[in-house]
Amino acid sequence: MTRARVVLAALVLLLFASSAHAADKAVVTWHPSKPRIGDVAWLLVKDVAEAATVEGSVDGKPLTFFPYAGGHAALFGIDLEMKPGTHAWRVGVVEPGREPRSAQGSVKIVRRDFHVERLTVPNTMVDLDPETERRAVAEGKQLAALYRTITPERMWRGKFTAPVGTNGTGKGFGARRIINGQPRSPHSGSDFSAPKGTPVVAANAGKVALVAEFFFPGRLVILDHGLGLYTAYFHLDTTAVNEGERVERGQTLGTVGATGRATGPHLHFGAQVAGARIDPTTLLGLALID
């Protein structure tokens, strides 16, 4: 090799090294890699110190990260009415003593077909008088505002547990509902049939965010698990917890009933992540446990 060639090779190497450095990429994995509508998915940003600041978004909607497995993870809820197909995500990492890192890409959201469910309920539960209509709308807004509130502390740990100890999983998540012949909003939870009086337990640790009696949900308990994750328990006959109370996974919240708009005793179990309505039964299989 001539001297000029050696110098050139060294320069190329140097350029290569510095450009690789400038493009220092964060390593991000999605779980599952192709989530479905209604799933609770999660992203892991690998090799990030606990003290680092990690931020990111999907479709411009912010994610909330927490230290996990030598990196930082965030839940991403895929709302039951999100469009299937590719959605853009990005992540940024600022870590003391290291160059800032970032990554971006797209995730493919797989479609899921929901069945159509025809229900017949008393007309007073569908054709509301103006006062009841106002009440139901106000209650809906109160719930939506609560679900958008992000408590910065992560309270959930380990595996999620089924909210009632019956055989079989919940049913009907995402069903496009036709009630008394009129199309209504899709079913945002999963129904567990169980006899009246069956204990209903907390799916994981959290804080009681709301205990109320609302028109459609009936007697209800909502748990805040932190970082934007909430679980909801509707149509209860009785409640056994108070707002603000901390609860452990498996702790009794109340009993199964048929309060509100219910065709019979059952638990309506719901879950949201940053306002996205997810299939709560996918929480039970969440592979992110510690």
Identify which of residues 76 and 234 has a Cβ nearer to Zn ion in the complex: 234
Secondary structure (DSSP) of 180-240: TTEE-----EEEEE--TT-EEE-SSSEEEEEEEEETTTEEEEEEEEETTEEEEEEEEEEE-
Of 34-42, 61-69, 72-80, 267-275, the segment contacting Zn ion by CB under 5 A is 267-275
Distance in Å, CB of 172 to Zn ion, minimum: 6
Between residues 226 and 260, which has the closer beta carbon with respect to Zn ion?
260
Q: Compare residues 74 and 221 and give the one whose CB is closer to Zn ion.
A: 221
Q: Is 268 in the site for Zn ion (CB under 5 A)?
A: yes
Q: Give whichever of 87 and 268 is closer to Zn ion, judged by the CB atom.
A: 268
Q: Does 170 bind Zn ion (CB under 5 A)?
A: no
Which among 217, 226, 220 is positioned nearest to 272, based on CA atoms? 226
**In 3D, which of 137, 24, 35 has the Cα closest to residue 77?**
35
**CB closer to Zn ion out of 72 and 266:** 266
Question: Would you count residue 261 as binding Zn ion (CB under 5 A)?
Answer: no
Question: Rounded to whole angstroms, how far apart are CA atoms 3 and 28?
Answer: 42
Handedness of CA 202, 207, 213, 214 (dihedral sign): negative
Shorter beta-carbon distance to Zn ion: residue 193 or 252: 193
Is residue 235 at the binding interface for Zn ion, with CB under 5 A as the rule?
A: no
Residue 74 CB, nearest distance to Zn ion (Å)?
28
Number of continuous H segments (helices) and E segments (strands) in the chain: 3, 20
Binding flags for Zn ion, 186-205, as an x/- string (CB under 5 A): ---x-x--------------
CA 139/CA 218 separation, integer angstroms: 11
**Interface with Zn ion by CB under 5 A: which range of 70-78, 198-206, 212-220, 260-268?**
260-268
- Among 158, 194, 184, which Cα is nearest to 269's? 194
Residue span binding Zn ion (CB under 5 A) among the ranges 131-139, 141-149, 249-257, 264-272: 264-272
Min dist. Cβ of residue 191 to Zn ion (A): 4
DSSP letter assigned to residue 131: H
What 3-state DSSP class applies to 61? strand
Please give the Cα distance from 62 to 272 (Å, whole number).
15
CB of 189 to Zn ion, least distance (A): 5
Binding residues for Zn ion (CB under 5 A): 189, 191, 268
